Amino acid sequence: MMHKKLISLSIIVIVVVICMAGIDYSARLIPISLAAVDASPSLYVPSQVPASALSSVIVPVTFSANGNNISSVVFSIDYDQTWLTIDPTDANSDGTPDAVTLFYPAGFTGSCMLRPLETDGELDCVVFDISIPLNALPSGTLAQIQFQTGNPGVVIDAAVNFSTTSAPASFGNTEGQSVPGTTQNGSVRITPSTPTVTGTRTNTPTATRTATATSSRTPTITATLPRDKFFFFPLLRHEPSPTVTMTPTSSRTPTATVTPTRSLTPTQTSTRTTTLTPTQSLTPTHTRTPTITLTKTPIPCSNLIKNGGFENNGDWEFPVTQFTAGYSTEFARTGLRSARTGILNLSQNILSFSSTRQLITIPAGAASVKLSFYYYPMTGESPLLPLIFYPKHLTFTYAQNLYDTQYVVITDANNNYLDTIFANRSNSRTWTYHVIDLKSYAGRSIKVEFGTYNNGTDGVTSMHVDDVIVEYCP
């Protein structure tokens, strides 16, 4: 859109000049310089893209070459996380969220990485040519981002800006040189949902006449004898019951006479009596058997890295590149040596990856796996320039025309890229300690790779590494 505006402005100026030919307006005219038109490459996000609350909206990112032969574009989008979100789902595992679509011609490639932990919400994207000679990227829509909106309750403009924490965008031309460019921020205008008033029928109770039962007095029936009638009741004579009187009668009672009787007294006979004496038996006593409790002896943590101080010539791989990494005695945190990645001397500046890596196997079921190391960074490039990152479907050799970066990546056993776990561009020139969680790789064989990328222009960048440990705790 910006490109069209610039063309329209140029046409208007030319038409005005032609119409004024032959007429002397020198006293009134203000000189207009066509050179004032910005000829830098640019990225543009429209403002106030309309959207309803609790819905989705697509926001385009438009690229304008403005006459420049641009072969690579790197940009970061910071969006208002309060009212805008991006679905991180990546169903095809290409490294870019499905909610983001990139547009580029054949021979180019690209990827976007969502960083939801950024406080302002950040989406890092890169599009570049993957082969030499480098081709120019045409102007047009470079990306479309699908946002999910919140419900603010009032009309608001949610920011969709280019990054303010780093360079908002960078452009590289077909000669491999960095080209300054411009960006224009945008926004999404969110209109809150209007509540729908729905008539609800209310049942009104109707008074219904109800018959109430009233207690009636029960009549008392009184018997009345007619005066002209006679009723005869029989008279019964009550005879008293006789009284019984008991009179004692004297009777003769016989007297008992005791007559002695002679009894035979038996002779005492000795009788042998057998007495059974019970024999005492031993009764077993129940003894409680103690329970044996097995106490598991904790297995101590171990270090999966060999030669983490780089004191010996072994265990580490140094891939052969345009500027191969190696052992160094110039900087060492402990011992006599460290690993040097990157380039130290400006006179040797060249586009190259420079790294060292080691294969480790992390057992399954780990309680914790921590990578720790010390690094000594140096760079001659600005720390404000964007950092490179690698799309998952690309190899390192495809990253060209990007800025120098100190990094740590994880690859599989066959050197296929898995993830970037550390990216930096620092010139602190001090030993700095860093720890990274590797528990997600438990049960796998991976390579931990330390490296530095130099783009061959501007300053040189390096990183020394020492005292590397991968602590595995079962």
Q: What is the pLDDT of residue 170?
A: 80
Confidence of residue 137 (pLDDT cuts 50, 70, 90): very high
DSSP 6-38: HHHHHHHHHHHHHHTTT---TTTPPP--GGGS-
Summarize pLDDT for 166-178 with one digit per residue, the tens.
556 888 888 767 7
How far apart are alpha carbons 64 and 214 in whole angstroms?
96
Residue 224, pLDDT above cutoff 50: no
Q: Which fold has domain 302-473?
A: Jelly Rolls (2.60.120)
pLDDT score at 214: 45
List own/partner pairs for 387-390 with CB under 8 A and 24 or more apart.
387/166, 387/423, 387/424, 387/425, 388/74, 388/126, 388/423, 388/453, 389/113, 389/124, 389/126, 389/420, 389/423, 390/417, 390/420
* Local confidence band at 113 (pLDDT 50, 70, 90 cut-offs): confident
- Give the pLDDT of residue 237: 41
Where does the pLDDT of residue 231 fall: very low under 50, low under 70, confident under 90, or very high at 90 and above?
Answer: very low
Most confident of 200-204, 297-301, 415-419: 415-419
List of E strands, 65-151? 70-79, 84-85, 100-102, 108-115, 122-129, 140-149
**Per-residue confidence (pLDDT) for residue 388, from 0 to 100:** 65
Q: pLDDT at residue 112 above 80?
A: yes
- What is the CATH code for 42-191? 2.60.40.680
Q: What distance in Å separates the CA atoms of residue 98 and residue 112, rounded to the nearest whole number?
A: 10
Separation between Cα atoms, residue 133 and residue 119, nearest integer Å: 39
Least Cα distance to 403 among 73, 107, 112, 181 occurs for 73
pLDDT on residue 333: 97
Give the pLDDT confidence of 18-49 residue by residue, as tens digits.
343 343 333 333 333 333 335 899 999 999 99
Say if residues 74 and 147 touch (Cβ distance below 8 Å): no
Looking at residues 294-317, what average pLDDT do you find? 89
The residue ranges of every structural domain in the chain are 2-36, 42-191, 302-473
Q: How does residue 222 score in pLDDT terms, banded at 50, 70 and 90?
A: very low
Residue 258 in this model has a pLDDT that exceeds 60: no
Which pTM value belongs to this model?
A: 0.46
